[in-house]
Amino acid sequence: MLSNMGAPAFVLVFNIVFLIVSVFIMYLVITKAVKNGINQSVVGQFIEKNSRLNGNRSDLDNDK
């Protein structure tokens, strides 16, 4: 089937595959950069510190 399509079709298929792979790699790089940027920033560390304090609280409405 691909032999009947010729060179332009091969180039088109190659470009589409290359685009999909490029977008996926870009997604991975941006995701990694954003996660590291947030976790290492002062604001990110402050939020993480406060969420640990709030997460360890016991239930205050436990009056039975």
Q: Which of 10-19, 36-45, 54-63 has the lowest mean pLDDT?
A: 54-63
pTM above 0.75, yes or no: no
Sign of CA dihedral 31, 34, 40, 46: negative
- Asked if residue 31 belongs to a domain, the reply is yes
Task: Give the model's pLDDT for residue 48.
Answer: 78
Range of the domain at 12: 7-56
Angle at alpha carbon of residue 45, lines to 39 and 48, rounded to 5°: 95
- Asked if residue 61 belongs to a domain, the reply is no
Q: The tokens of 50 are what? A: 């406060």
Q: According to the 3-state scheme, what is the secondary structure of the chain?
A: CHHHCCHHHHHHHHHHHHHHHHHHHHHHHHHHHHHHHHHHCHHHHHHHHHHHHHHCCCCCCCCC
Work out how many domains the chain is built from and give that number.
Answer: 1
- Asked if residue 63 belongs to a domain, the reply is no
